[in-house]
Chains A and B, each alone.
Chain A
Amino acid sequence: MKNTPFTEKHIALGAKMVDFAGYNMPISYTSINDEHAAVRKNAGVFDVSHMGEFILKGDRALDLIQRVTSNDASKLTAGQAQYSCLPNDEGGIVDDLLVYCIEPNKTYMLVVNASNIEKDWNWISRHNTNGAEMHNISDKTGLLAIQGPNATRILQSLTDMDILNLKYYTFVKGRFAGVDNVLVSATGYTGAGGVEIYFEDKGDDADRIWNAIFEAGAAAGIRAIGLGARDTLRLEMGYCLYGNDIDDTTSPLEAGLGWITKFSKTFTASHILQQQKADGVERKLVGFEMIDRGIPRHGYEIKDQLGATIGVVTSGTQSPSLGKAIGMGYVRTAYAAIDTEIFIKVRDKLLLARVVRIPFA
Chain B
Amino acid sequence: MSFPAHLRYTKDHEWISIEGNVATIGITDFAQRELGDIVYVEVESIGKPLAAGDVFGTVEAVKTVSDLFLPVSGTVTELNAALANAPELVNNDPYGEGWMIKMTVDNPDDVNGLLDAAGYEAVVA
Point out residues on A near B: beta carbons under 8 Å. 16, 27-28, 31-33, 228, 231-232, 293-295, 297, 317-318, 320, 325, 347
Q: Nearest-CB distance from A82 to chain B (Å)?
A: 31
| Complex alpha-carbon distance, A27 and B37, angstroms | 12
13 CB contacts below 8 A, A to B, read A27-B63, A31-B36, A31-B37, A33-B62, A228-B62, A231-B63, A295-B60, A295-B65, A297-B64, A297-B65, A317-B62, A317-B63, A320-B62
Q: Nearest-CB distance from B79 to chain A (Å)?
A: 14
A318 in contact with B62 given A31-B37, A32-B36, A33-B37 (CB within 8 Å): yes
Is B75 positioned at the interface, with any CB of A under 8 Å from its CB? no
Is B73 positioned at the interface, with any CB of A under 8 Å from its CB? no
A32 in contact with B58 given A228-B36, A293-B40 (CB within 8 Å): no
Q: Collect the chain A residues with CB atoms within 8 Å of residue B63's CB.
A: 27, 32, 228, 231, 317
Query: CB-nearest residue of chain A relative to B55?
Result: A347
| Complex alpha-carbon distance, A293 and B87, angstroms | 14
Query: CB-nearest residue of chain A relative to B58?
Result: A347
Q: Collect the chain B residues with CB atoms within 8 Å of residue A232's CB.
A: 62
Are B39 and A318 in contact (CB-based, < 8 A)? yes
Q: Nearest-CB distance from A9 to chain B (Å)?
A: 20
Point out residues on B near A: beta carbons under 8 Å. 33, 36-37, 39-40, 42, 58, 60, 62-65, 91
Q: Nearest-CB distance from A268 to chain B (Å)?
A: 35
Q: Collect the chain B residues with CB atoms within 8 Å of residue A293's CB.
A: 40, 42
| Complex alpha-carbon distance, A28 and B33, angstroms | 10
| Complex alpha-carbon distance, A228 and B42, angstroms | 23
The 8 closest A-B pairs by CB, nearest first: A318-B39, A33-B37, A32-B62, A295-B60, A318-B62, A31-B37, A32-B37, A32-B36
Q: Collect the chain B residues with CB atoms within 8 Å of residue A294's CB.
A: 60
Q: Nearest-CB distance from A20 to chain B (Å)?
A: 13
Are B39 and A28 in contact (CB-based, < 8 A)? no
Q: Nearest-CB distance from A314 to chain B (Å)?
A: 16
Are B39 and A295 in contact (CB-based, < 8 A)? yes
Besides A32-B37, A33-B37, 15 other A-B contacts (C-beta < 8 A): A31-B37, A32-B62, A228-B36, A228-B62, A228-B63, A293-B42, A294-B60, A295-B39, A295-B60, A297-B65, A317-B62, A318-B39, A318-B60, A318-B62, A347-B58
| Complex alpha-carbon distance, A31 and B92, angstroms | 11
Are A31 and B39 in contact (CB-based, < 8 A)? no
Q: Nearest-CB distance from B87 to chain A (Å)?
A: 10
Q: Collect the chain B residues with CB atoms within 8 Å of residue A27's CB.
A: 63
Query: CB-nearest residue of chain B relative to A16?
Result: B33
| Complex alpha-carbon distance, A222 and B55, angstroms | 42
Q: Collect the chain B residues with CB atoms within 8 Å of residue A320's CB.
A: 37, 62
Query: CB-nearest residue of chain B relative to A347?
Result: B58
| Complex alpha-carbon distance, A317 and B36, angstroms | 13
Q: Collect the chain B residues with CB atoms within 8 Å of residue A295's CB.
A: 39, 60, 65
Q: Collect the chain A residues with CB atoms within 8 Å of residue B36's CB.
A: 16, 28, 31-32, 228
Q: Nearest-CB distance from A178 to chain B (Å)?
A: 37
Q: Collect the chain B residues with CB atoms within 8 Å of residue A28's CB.
A: 36
Q: Nearest-CB distance from A317 to chain B (Å)?
A: 6
Q: Nearest-CB distance from B52 to chain A (Å)?
A: 21
Q: Collect the chain A residues with CB atoms within 8 Å of residue B33's CB.
A: 16
| Complex alpha-carbon distance, A236 and B36, angstroms | 19
Q: Collect the chain A residues with CB atoms within 8 Å of residue B91's CB.
A: 31
Query: CB-nearest residue of chain B relative to A325?
Result: B39
Q: Collect the chain A residues with CB atoms within 8 Å of residue B60's CB.
A: 294-295, 318
| Complex alpha-carbon distance, A347 and B65, angstroms | 11
| Complex alpha-carbon distance, A297 and B58, angstroms | 14
| Complex alpha-carbon distance, A228 and B64, angstroms | 11
| Complex alpha-carbon distance, A221 and B66, angstroms | 33
Query: CB-nearest residue of chain B relative to A31?
Result: B37
| Complex alpha-carbon distance, A16 and B36, angstroms | 10
| Complex alpha-carbon distance, A161 and B39, angstroms | 43
| Complex alpha-carbon distance, A27 and B64, angstroms | 13
Q: Nearest-CB distance from B89 to chain A (Å)?
A: 14
Q: Collect the chain B residues with CB atoms within 8 Å of residue A297's CB.
A: 64-65
| Complex alpha-carbon distance, A325 and B33, angstroms | 21
Q: Nearest-CB distance from A349 to chain B (Å)?
A: 10
Q: Which of B37, B58, B91 is the most central at the interface, judged by chain A CB atoms within 10 Å of its CB?
A: B37
| Complex alpha-carbon distance, A120 and B77, angstroms | 56
| Complex alpha-carbon distance, A33 and B38, angstroms | 10
Q: Nearest-CB distance from A221 to chain B (Å)?
A: 20
